Structure 1
Amino acid sequence: MSTEKKSNVRWVVAALMWSAIAINYIDRTVLAAAAPYITKEFSITPSQMGIIMSGFFWSYALLQVPAGWFADKIGQKKTLGFAVAWWSIATALTGLGTGFKSILGFRVALGIGEAAAYPSNAGISSKWFPDKERATVGGLFDSGSKFGGAVAMPLIVWLIALFGWKMTFVIIGGVGIVWSIIWIMYFKEIPEEHKGVNAAELKYIREGQSQKGGLDKEQPMKWYELLKYRNIWAMCIGFFMINYTSYFFITWLPTYLIKEKGMGMLAMGFAAMLPLLISMFVEVAAGWASDKVQSKGWLSLTATRKVFLVGGLLMASCIGLAAFAESAVTAIVLLCIAKSGTTVAASQVWALPGDVAPKNMTSVVAGLQNSVSNMGGVVGPIATGAILQATGSFKMALLLSSALLVVGILNYLFLLGKVKHIEV
């Protein structure tokens, strides 16, 4: 009997997945921190800034399914490596913007590159991790978005003060270029191809998978045939409601803290960091806890996913209470609870594609789910900007977010059925 201790290369891969998402969110958050400077320099109205902020999501949302298809067919190594390089260049070029049209154009280009990140990571999870670690790794790599957003605010405010907003875009863009080089040199498409993965780790991974991803490229159906299944619709609708609220934290939160709560730039940078930083740890813990609950048989897979999804959205609905907060401290506490709630739900959202997808279609399912959900990123910033311009306050915008989260709860309770692989 072999007593070889298993290697842990999969967790190095997870760390790279996490850092890709962290860079992803730092790059998309630069605009939110720089928005007060850009609006002043180019005389951009709140409605125009809402359009710029949402411009990223036009291309990002529309290209999710094609990006997922490429990741499953061509491989996550090439797809993700190229994507990170592309969006990093787009970020750097944003510093050359001269007004509304050019900055909007670079923002759309950023979305084209970033579209491949989450579908690729979902596909990597299905190849490199056993089923019982699915929510843990999903929560882990998605927590990179909160770290990226949290670090971005104080870091970018400092860089802008030091170098100006234009050079800040160039500096941040260079980080992703370095990551893409490391990724291509280290990552392998499947664990069988990686020299660092020993027999014990490979056995642990493959024997723990109900579907052994990546061993062939055959897909049992076209991507659009997925729309015949109820669970796919539930995943898309529910995630749309989550993302509508989530993207407030990386688009309008800095402006909210400055205009509504009277904070200065430096204080805003640290206050805006708190909901994201706290929720990063909450998401990893939620993913780990849900894997433990399910693997120990305390709840079925379906019940586990629903308990964490609904519980998370109940927490997230606290964003509506922030509309009535008198002090900045109270508002920030409520926003921390709300953002943490979205991440409790997100740890399950990124496990669901691996739970539900047919063989070799995890990236496609993740892309489809993310495509619909990120229309919340298109609608949310525009709606918030329009409400702000019409009312002069964020109150109605926060209440609308809370109402949509209630719809999300009902969706996961009643539309989401038994969580299992789609069988063809």
Structure 2
Amino acid sequence: MTQAHPQPVRSRTGTTRIRWTIIWLAFAGLSINYLDRASLSVALPFMGEDFHLTATQQGLVFAAFFWAYDACQLVAGWYVDKVGPRRSFFLAAVWWSIFTALTGLARGFWSLLTLRFLLGIGESPAPSTAAKVVATWFPTRERAFATSIWDSGSRVGAVIALPVVTGLIAWLHWRAVFVVIGAVGVVWALVWWKYYRDPRQHPGASAAEIEYVEGGGARTAETDAEEAARIPWRSLFRYRTVLSMMFGFFCLNSVIYFFITFFPSYLVTERGFSLLKLGFFGAIPGLFAVLSGWAGGLLADRAIRRGASVTRVRKTVIVGGLVGGSVIMFAAVVPEAWMALTLLSISYGSLTVAGTGIWSLPADVAPSSRHVGSLGGVQNFASNFAGIITPIVVGALVDATGSFVVPLLVIGVIALVGAFNYLVIMGRIEPLKLIGSAPAATSGS
């Protein structure tokens, strides 16, 4: 039986624009992905009657997700390249939705920790899949904005978690939160499976769109150089560019994961936010981050279209974003809550701009289309050590000092270290060459 597909969106010239429908669908998937991930951080302050967790135990529960998520990154990136975005995103979404729903059945610290661990396994292929989608469907001149769209799903998921989760808690119970958003994830997975195909296999894509995408630098099997495609996966770790990508992304995530984990608790315990204020004002930094990311992606693509080098554009976006993100260190010491919220918004927005550049790198430097998902998994593997370390360190420092001043100072400094890494240590941003060939030195090997 032939599957029906949505009618393609057409521009004035009649050329299809399937790629934009696909990237917005990926955005929805990442939004649900992060809604599932962030729901516990929003619900946890209001689960005290059932669990009575210390700040250190909360940090361990948050970290359990990242133990699994990070351990699976290298395999997940390879798997995305092996089976393609259609299958990898579908299976991942079904998995993470099931274990999100089961979180509503948790009965204590250990069951909560186990379910978060299993959730981390299911969510691990999502970012590498999205990076692969951009590399497959978008020319270089549109890559940053397309990346900003799917990457903003992480911010949107965290933002909507605040009103959605607090609303469901007030209306029903915290256990109902996880069942509802788990069901939403299953629905999205079915839509993705029905609609997504690679460019030459998509029944709605016109020949003009395929030519535009592939001619503009999209990374597909049809455009791969034979020599580059032979570079073994394990050899990626021999390139300075790849090592710099890994370390720099770790620094970015050291700050990002404060917003994903302890941010709601900070507003409640340190700034005295009520449930209503948390649901309303707590969404401001995330909303600002979404708009900042889109603006940063548009400006980066415009600069490349006007002739700026990919290296200059990516480094400007990433370094500037990390420097801006470091202002989080001042949020803990300002006297008024609105001042802290302003600084946190600037920090989150700047980090999101940096993230659009960082997640463009796998497509920029991959030696072939067969390496895009793998490079996404490699840099995400390193970055999510921050997801393991940051919640534990922040929780322990809060327990030891009684405030968030020291933790925010530490992660602000780490953001500056990351900026230095991308500015000084990372070389030119271009496709990696086979080590031993003449141009290899320009690839940062």
TM-score by length of 1: 0.97
Superposition deviation, residue 216 in structure 1: 7.9
Unaligned runs of at least 5 residues, structure 2: 1-11, 435-445
* 1:242 and 2:252 correspond: yes
Give the Cα–Cα distance (whole angstroms) in 2 for the partners of residues 41 and 392 of structure 1. 23
Q: Are positions 1:199 and 2:211 aligned together?
A: no
Match of 1:263 among 244, 251, 273: 273
**Residue in structure 1 matched with residue 364 of structure 2 by the alignment:** 355
Pairing 1:125-144 to 2, within 5 Å after superposition: 125-144=134-153
User: Do 1:4 and 1:200's aligned partners in 2 also have CA atoms closer than 8 Å?
Assistant: no
Q: Which residue of 2 aligns with 1:226?
A: 236
Match of 2:326 among 317, 323, 327: 317
Q: Which amino acid aligns with 1:239?
A: F
* Structure 1 equivalent of residue 295 of structure 2: 285
In structure 1, what residue type is equivalent to 2:267?
L
Corresponding residue for residue 123 of structure 1: 132
Q: Give the drift of 1:213.
A: 4.2
Does 2:412 correspond to 1:414? Answer: no
- Out of 73, 79, 87, the position equivalent to 2:88 is 79
Q: Within 1, Cα distance between the matches of 2:101 and 2:295?
A: 34
Q: CA deviation at 1:214?
A: 6.5
In structure 1, the gaps of 5 or more residues are: none
Structure-2 residue corresponding to 1:374 = 384
Q: Which runs of structure 2 are paired with 1:17-416 in the superposition (5 Å)? A: 17-188=26-197, 190-209=198-217, 211-213=219-221, 219-297=229-307, 299-359=308-368, 360-416=370-426
Q: AA paired with 1:48?
A: Q
TM superposition shift of 1:370: 0.6
Amino acid in the other structure paired with 1:393: S
1:210 to partner: Cα distance: 6.2
Write the distance in 2 (CA, Å) between the matches of 1:254 and 1:344: 22
**What secondary structure is seen at the aligned counterpart in 2 of 1:324?**
coil
Deviation, structure 1 residue 11: 0.5
Count, aligned residues: 420
User: Does structure 2 conserve the Cα–Cα contact (< 8 Å) formed by 1:39 and 1:45?
Assistant: no
Q: CA deviation at 1:5?
A: 2.6
Q: Please give the alpha-carbon distance, in whole angstroms, between the structure 2 residues aligned to 1:51 and 1:93.
A: 19
Distance 1:264 1:38 in 2: 15
Distance 1:4 1:44 in 2: 59
Residues 383 and 217 from structure 1, CA distance in 2 versus in 1: closer, same or farther, beyond 3 angstroms?
farther
Match of 1:9 in 2: 18
How far apart are residue 153 of structure 1 and its match?
Answer: 0.5
* 2-structure distance, mates of 1:288, 1:91: 34
Cα displacement string for residues 154-184 of structure 1 (whole angstroms, at most 9, x for unaligned residues): 1110001111011111011100000001111
Q: Separation in 1 of the partners of 2:280 and 2:225?
A: 46
Higher deviation after alignment, 155-164 or 220-229: 220-229
CA distance in structure 2 between the partners assigned to 1:153 and 1:214 by the alignment: 44
Identity of aligned residues (%): 39
Distance 1:70 1:161, change over 3 A: same
Q: Deviations over 1:37-62 (max 9, x none)?
A: 23442121110110001111111111
CA drift at 1:220:
2.0
Q: Is the 8 A contact 2:214 2:223 kept in 1?
A: no
Q: State the distance in 2 between where 1:325 and 1:214 align.
A: 55
CA contact (8 A) 2:66 2:385 kept: yes
The letter for the 2-side match of 1:193 is Q
Contact kept? 1:34, 1:165, Cα under 8 Å: yes
The code of the aligned residue for 1:280 comes to V
- Measure, in 2, the Cα distance between the counterparts of 1:213 and 1:11: 21
Offset from partner CA, 1:245-299 (integer Å, 9 cap, x none): 00111210111011101111110122221111111011011011111112211x3
Q: Which amino acid aligns with 1:230?
A: R
Instruction: Compute the displacement of 1:223 (Å).
Output: 2.3
Partner of 2:4: none
Please say if residues 127 and 214 of structure 1, whose CA atoms lie closer than 8 Å, have aligned partners that are also in contact: no
CA deviations 1:334-356 (Å, max 9, x no partner) are 00000001001001011000001
Judged with a 3 Å threshold, the aligned counterparts in structure 2 of structure 1 residues 414 and 216 are, in CA distance, closer, same or farther, namely closer
The 10-residue stretch of structure 1 (98-107 or 212-221) with the greater mean CA deviation from structure 2: 212-221
SS at match of 1:50: helix
Deviates more, 1:403-412 or 1:266-275: 266-275
2:87–2:193 CA contact under 8 A, matched in 1: yes
In structure 2, how many angstroms separate the alpha carbons of the residues matched to 1:4 and 1:151? 37
Q: Hey, what's the Cα distance between the residues in 1 that align with 2:401 and 2:25? A: 44
- What is the CA-CA distance between 1:217 and the residue it aligns to? 12
Amino acid paired to 2:36: D
1:211 offset after TM fit, Å? 4.1
CA distance, structure 1, for counterparts of residue 28 and residue 202 of structure 2? 20
TM-score by length of structure 2 reads 0.92
Whole-Å separation in 2 of the counterparts to 1:4 and 1:349: 33
Q: Aligned equivalents of 2:277 and 2:304: distance in 1?
A: 42
CA contact (8 A) 2:73 2:377 kept: yes
Cα distance in 2 between the residues matched to 1:39 and 1:302: 49
Counterpart code for 1:147? V
SS of corresponding position for 1:332 = helix
